[in-house]
Amino acid sequence: GAVVSQHPSRVICKSGTSVKIECRSLDFQATTMFWYRQFPKQSLMLMATSNEGSKATYEQGVEKDKFLINHASLTLSTLTVTSAHPEDSSFYICSALKLAGGNQETQYFGPGTRLLVL
Partner 1 sequence: GENVEQHPSTLSVQEGDSAVIKCTYSDSASNYFPWYKQELGKRPQLIIDIRSNVGEKKDQRIAVTLNKTAKHFSLHITETQPEDSAVYFCAASETGNQFYFGTGTSLTVIP
Chain positions contacting partner 1, by CB under 8 A: 32, 34, 41-46, 49, 57, 59-60, 93, 95, 97, 103-112
Q: How far is the CB of 16 from partner 1 (least distance, A)?
A: 28
Q: Which residue's CB is nearer to partner 1, number 83 or number 106?
A: 106
Q: Which residue's CB is nearer to partner 1, number 16 or number 39?
A: 39
Q: How far is the CB of 28 from partner 1 (least distance, A)?
A: 14
Q: How far is the CB of 69 from partner 1 (least distance, A)?
A: 14
Q: What is the 3-state secondary structure (H, E, C) of the chain?
A: CCCEEEECCEEEECCCCCEEEEEEECCCCCCEEEEEEECCCCCEEEEEEEECCCCCEECCCCCCCCEEEEEEECCEEEEEECCCCHHHCEEEEEEEEEECHHHCEEEEECCCEEEEEC
Q: Which residue's CB is nearer to partner 1, number 17 or number 42?
A: 42
Spatial contact of 79 and 68, defined as CB atoms under 8 Å apart:
yes
Q: Which residue's CB is nearer to partner 1, number 98 or number 117?
A: 98
